[in-house]
Amino acid sequence: MCGRFVSTSPPEEIARYFGATETADVEGRPNYNVAPTTDVWVVHADGGVRRLDPYRWGLIPTWAKDMGIGSRMINARAETVASKNAFKSSFAKRRCIVPADGFYEWTPAPAGEKRKQPWFIHRPDHEPFAFAGLWSEWKAKDRNGEQVTVRSTTIITGEANTKMAELHDRMPIILPPSAWDEWLDPAQTDAEALGRFLVPAPPEIIQFEPVSFDVNNVRNNRPDLLEPVEVPQQPQLGDTGEVPEPEAPAENPA
């Protein structure tokens, strides 16, 4: 799964890296502990042009009665994304890329600790990951009868590669640059063709280190969260448990 990630690159750098020719006029700030329901940067196709815009993390299907469902839709499983009711429409025609400078995963508590150990996963070359994502546009009326439109996103996860399997049995689907055009093209609706992208990323693009327990509380959002720490044991795949419950997420895009 992917329940927290890191987004510290300025939006203009993200746009340049992903070839987005238009960028939303929104001021971003580094986010070292991105939590569900916050706004995150999304690369999507708009009339043949790649755009970078802030979308709410946690997909809200068009048929949802309220926004609350989004908090349970932060990830979509690669194995069922083409058939599950909440995601199949977006998979067919509303695909996107969620840029990330890295993400977190947790392993069982080290000896003498009750808290699960967070790990920061990133590329060895420190380039951003291109997470395969979906987006949706949800519309409703507020208490005053005014139209409200919310664009939201989810991150697709799949089987872990051999490196990531040292920490967890699943990981985000990471798209290579060669896949970006086809993935973002809404005219590509062939589920079988798209399915060939939903595979584990090469293990050589994965590197990880243990980091501070402060990551476990989303209120902590500082550069030093990414600094490696020493742990008394090596990671062991097993009862990794759930990502700690986010608290008081920020409103601004990461």
Residue 106's DSSP bridge partners are 118
Catalytic residue list contains 96: no
* Active-site pick, 13, 22, 96, 105: 105
Which stretch of DSSP H or E encloses residue 90? Answer: helix 88-93
* Active-site pick, 2, 79, 182, 242: 2
Cα–Cα distance for residue pair 87/70, rounded to 1 Å: 12
Give the tokens for residue 242.
Answer: 């759930």
Please list the alpha-helical segments (H only) found in 141-252: 177-184, 191-195
Distances in Å between the Cα of 92 and the Cα atoms of 68, 81, 95, 185, 206 are 24, 10, 8, 10, 29
Burial of 48 (0-12, 13-18, 19+ CB in 10 A): exposed
What is the number of alpha carbons within 13 Å of residue 192 lying toward its C-beta? 0
Annotated catalytic residues are: 2, 105
